[in-house]
Structure 1
Amino acid sequence: MSVGGLARAALALGGGLLTWLAFPPTGLWPLAIVGVGALCVSVREQRARRGAWLGALHGIGMFVPLLSWIAVLGPDTLVLLGALQGLFAAGLGATLAVTSRLPAWPAVAACLWVAVELARAWVPFGGFPWGRLAFAQAGSPFASYAAYGGVALVTGLVALTAALSAAVVVERARTRAAAALGVAVLVAGGLALGAGQSLPEGRKVAVALVQGNVPGDGMDALGEARTVTRNHLAATEGLARRIASGEVPPVDVVIWPENSTDIDPFRDAETRAVVDQAVEAIRVPILVGAILDGPGERFRRTAGVVWEPGTGPDTDRIYVKRHPVPFGEYIPFREQLLPLVGRLEQVGRETFAGMDPGVLEVGGATFGDVICFEIAYDDIVQDVVAGGAEVLVVQTNNATFGGTAQPEQQFAISRLRAIETGRSVLVAATNGISGVIGPDGTVLERTALGTQDVVVTSVVRASGRTMASRLRSWPEWVLSTLGAAGLGAAVVRRRRDGTDG
């Protein structure tokens, strides 16, 4: 490789590392602009094959450290997931290289970035959207754009800002001035939107988020299932005593996190008795994160169950997780892979996917329930808002990933969803991070990891819908289509000029 080639490779890899540092827990959001801009410079006027190589380096530099928390499941898991994301990054690098000679290449680059994120969010096995550029921007001026075009618009504008910044470096003087002006306008626009955002007003609902904590860590965190449930009982009974003494105000609803009952309370009398005891102590409904058996012996369901005082669980108000995690909650090609990879036996019974959005009437309010990683998937969140959710709830269990960056990254995604939907987001986690996020993405309350805690809050029951909630996936598809059109124009141009390759 030539010296120039080595410099480009270093720029691409370094850009990937800088992009990683934009994400929590480091959270230096401007580095996403620097990192993406570095990739744009490195692939500038390169052939597609070289662009793919440079894109893969950028992807490895970004995704391997970003997703290092998945190594808790085994280092090979990180290698495979990192390699998969590297393939998407290679495709992105190739398309950025091919389109880099177009007059409007920064805009095309931004649209292509959105298109690749769209692909990552859907394939394979339902996709894995972790690491979208927007998810690093919850605390930046760009986050304000989420209310108007969702996550895709935020990603597109961050990528556009990065590409324009690269143009300031590589283009002629007149073009550099225009690119610099574009960067200033995009940042100023985000600041203006954030300053002008109005918060919803109206009726409120009082909620308690119970973080019962878990007895272990890593893969053994939930090894003592009954202990986890009893921890949540103890925290709920403590809350009831504080309410009775006047230390905290009464609540309308209590929320327990995902896996707060890891044994089916419909079939296990001891688990049911523990939940009944908690509900009778607090005397308001509890949204219980439960594992339910079936259908059949092979499957289980991850669910949110409304449990009423006096009458118990309401079978008509159960949300079943719609997007189980491949290789974590179910095994694609199970019959073929199990004999080859014995460690997959740890998955146990496979998670059966639900069909209906998690719109639940609890305590007089309408909640939109999403479970754990589902907060990263646009359609899951959009569906509950379209179904009338006034408040978003994230029931999550991050105990396996305690001590890693995963809980912070997921909490940041929840912040962006609050802005996108114009709704408060309540996060209930088994061992943290639980918290309350305002409709403008402001963190109002949050707990520490590895502790038992209860958060008591009162949030507005929002009824309006943001532009992003009305447009749903349209911005993503429009931007992706524009990126594809730009790529097509670039391919035609290269073939005409004899520079394809």
Structure 2
Amino acid sequence: MPWAFLSALLGGVALWAAFPPVGWWWTAPVGITFLVLAALRGGAGRAFLGGWLCGVVFFGLQWDFVQEASGLLWARVLLAGFEALAVGLFAWLLRGLSRRWRSPWTVAAGGAALWAALELLRSEQPLGGFPWGTLAFSQVGGPLGRLAPYGSTMLVSAAVAFVGILVAAGVRRRGLTRWWSVAGAALLTIGIGFLPTAAATGQTLKVGFAQGIVPRGGQGAGGLSQAIAVTDGLRAASERIQGADLLLWPESASDMDPRQDANARALIDAASQKAGVPILLGTQEYQARTRYNQYVVWMPGQGMTGLYAKQHPVPYGEYVPGREFAAKITGAVNMISVDMLAGNKPAYLDVPLKSGTVQVATPICFEVAYDGIVGEAVRAGAQFIVVPTNNASFGSTAESAQQMQMTQFRAMESGRFAVQVSTVGVSGVAAPNGMVTNETKPWTEAAEVARIRLSTTLTFATRFGEALRWITYGLGAGVAAIGLSGLISRHTAGHQIGRGGRRHRA
């Protein structure tokens, strides 16, 4: 096997290892190093193929939960192959960039901007994108994660790419240039680790959260008996929570709409009356042929007083775009019998407490992966973050632990406490410095109480998130143009040399 393709394979494995179930943050820049070494060895076509192969290995290994939820290996492979095109494009353009720029530092800076832009693009397009596998999320336990409050996922991912490219550029050179590049990457990583983290400075709040468990027999919280069993399990677990100001239940806590179903309403009423505090819980609102995924405020003796409807349903997970066409390819689309509609309000709830009204950001499940959804809620006034999720469809995969990384990142990015509450785990509380407390084990009933601190201060990343997004795209487009010019000029030069009878080597 050629060295370039072996390097691409190693790069994909190293990138995967930065996330749970392994979770070694330092393998992310190592993975970029292997990817770049593969991209810079051989011609432009081989660079693209090597980058694509690296991406397929990375995403294919990480996204085992896609196969678990759908029961289809080809769905996992197809998604990984499509998303890996962004990695292939990065490697291809970096090949051209290295022909235009000679300094390892400028190539690393340009490559970092290019990676951040392409990663952002695949996180947003098509069909709303798929941010899973964003390198920034893997850095919550490492020094580069300290950049989160200063530049969100874009700056942290760019820093990972910068370090990895700089090391690769150094490896390809000799003498002092090599050692300056490697030493510079190491010193930069260490130095970033000394940046201060954001801190919550407001009043304290005691939040309780319940992980009631879903019966192991089936997926999700579907079916009449199973849906009621999930709600009853949360009610039972909540009885162990004492002295909380607010109770948090997960997404799909009551898939039987308590506004319509008397049994579900009775269970939730019983829990809220016994606790004497509001409950935030996930439910579904069904209409004629559609539904909404909602997170609602349930007050003792009053019932529902506020709701947020998920604004970013997962394509082919919660709704089926082009259903008629997709049904001709596979009958698996019939597993989603009722399409979910998108809400149109920010992921934000006002919750009345005895001490006053508290503003809560409530991105539901996969929405925590999207910069804009969480940032919009925090700018609207959210004082802490709740991430309700239902991970029952993903079995024993690392999906929930990967999502917990995202919750940690959002806490670090926003300077707010963030609570992930799951039907089956992992649940836990992330502090603004990224530390996790009250973490539960998967598939284990649990009830926890944690004291958190509220915050109204906006970090740089949260305040200027939209501007950072456009800056990332602008820098990425500029670097891509330079990389493309390098590829074109080399191709043209090759043809000119060929006419003179000299052999050209890419």
Judge same fold: TM > 0.5, yes or no: yes
Partner of 1:413: 406
Match for residue 40 of structure 2? 44
* Paired position in structure 1 for 2:464: 471
- The counterpart of 1:24, out of the listed 12, 20, 23, is 20
Amino acid at match of 1:50: R
Residues 128/299 of structure 1: CA separation in 2 closer, same or farther (3 Å cut):
same
User: What amino acid is the match of 2:389?
Assistant: T
* Cα shift at 1:197: 3.0
- Quote the residue 2:321 is aligned against: 332
Q: Does 1:389 align with 2:369?
A: no
The unaligned stretches of length 5 or more in structure 1 are 244-249
Match of residue 185, structure 2, among 165, 177, 183: 183
Distance 1:329 1:179 in 2: 46
2:211 is matched with which residue? 211
Q: 2:81 aligns with which of 71, 83, 90?
A: 83
Cα distance in structure 1, aligned partners of 2:482 and 2:151: 26
Task: Tell me whether 1:56 sits opposite 2:52 in the alignment.
Answer: yes
Q: TM-score, normalised by structure 1?
A: 0.93
Query: Is the CA contact 2:95–2:487 (under 8 Å) kept in the aligned structure 1?
Result: no
Indicate if the aligned counterparts of 1:45 and 1:98 stay in contact, CA closer than 8 A: no
**2:302 paired residue number:** 311
Alpha-carbon contact 2:4-2:41 (below 8 Å) kept: no
Q: Give the aligned partner of residue 339 of structure 2.
A: 350
Compute the displacement of 1:51 (Å). Answer: 1.3
Distance of 1:449 and 1:254 partners within structure 2: 20
Distance 1:494 1:285 in 2: 60
User: Which amino acid is the alignment partner of residue 310 of structure 1?
Assistant: G
Q: Name the counterpart of 2:260.
A: 267
1:45 is displaced (CA, Å) by 5.7
Q: 2:500 is matched with which residue?
A: none
**In the TM superposition, what are the counterparts of 1:123-162 in structure 2 within 5 Å?**
123-162=125-164
- Structure 2 stretches lacking a partner, 5+ long: 495-505
Any conservation in 2 of the 1:146–1:468 contact (CA below 8 Å)? Answer: yes
The 1-side partners of 2:154 and 2:118 are apart by 11
Q: Secondary structure at the match of 1:15?
A: helix
Structure 2 match to 1:246:
none
Q: 1:442 Cα deviation (Å)?
A: 0.5
What CA distance in whole angstroms lies between the structure 1 residues aligned with 2:110 and 2:343? 37
1:368–1:392: 8 Å Cα contact kept in structure 2? yes
Contact 1:214 1:222 in 2 (8 A): no
Counterpart for residue 439 of structure 1: 432
> Alpha carbons of 1:77 and 1:171: their partners in 2 closer, same or farther (altered >3 Å)?
same
Farther off after superposition, 39-48 or 441-450: 39-48
Give secondary structure in 2 for the equivalent of 1:388. Answer: coil
Identity %, equivalent residues = 36
Residue-pair matches, total: 482
Distance 1:406 1:494 in 2: 39
Q: Deviations over 1:308-346 (max 9, x none)?
A: 0111111xx100001100101000101222244212111
Q: Greater CA deviation, 28-37 or 478-487?
A: 478-487
For 1:157 and 1:179, how far apart are their aligned partners in 2? 15
Structure 2 partner of 1:247: none
Separation of aligned partners in 1, 2:277 and 2:487: 67
SS, match of residue 343 in structure 1: helix
Q: Evaluate the alpha carbon distance shift between residue 75 and residue 221 of structure 1 in structure 2; reply closer, same or farther with a 3 A threshold.
A: farther
CA contact (8 A) 2:254 2:284 kept: yes
Q: TM-score, normalized by length of structure 2?
A: 0.92
Query: Are 1:321 and 2:310 matched, yes or no?
Result: yes
Taking a change above 3 Å as real, the CA distance of residues 236 and 271 of structure 1, as seen in their structure-2 partners, is same
Taking a change above 3 Å as real, the CA distance of residues 77 and 492 of structure 1, as seen in their structure-2 partners, is closer
CA contact (8 A) 2:200 2:417 kept: no
The answer to whether structure 1 residue 482 and structure 2 residue 475 are counterparts is: yes
Separation of aligned partners in 1, 2:384 and 2:34: 39
Q: Residues of 2 paired with 1:217 and 1:146: CA distance?
A: 40
Q: Per the alignment, do residues 281 and 84 of structure 1 end up closer, same or farther by CA in structure 2, a change over 3 Å counting?
A: same
Q: What is aligned with 2:110?
A: 108
What is the aligned partner in structure 2 of residue 403 from structure 1?
396
State the alpha-carbon separation in 2 of the partners of residues 75 and 308 from structure 1.
Answer: 44
Which amino acid in the other structure matches residue 108 of structure 2?
P
The correspondence for 2:234, drawn from 216, 221, 232, is: 232
Runs of 4+ in 1 over 3 A off after TM superposition: 220-223, 493-497
Distance 2:62 2:218 in 1: 18
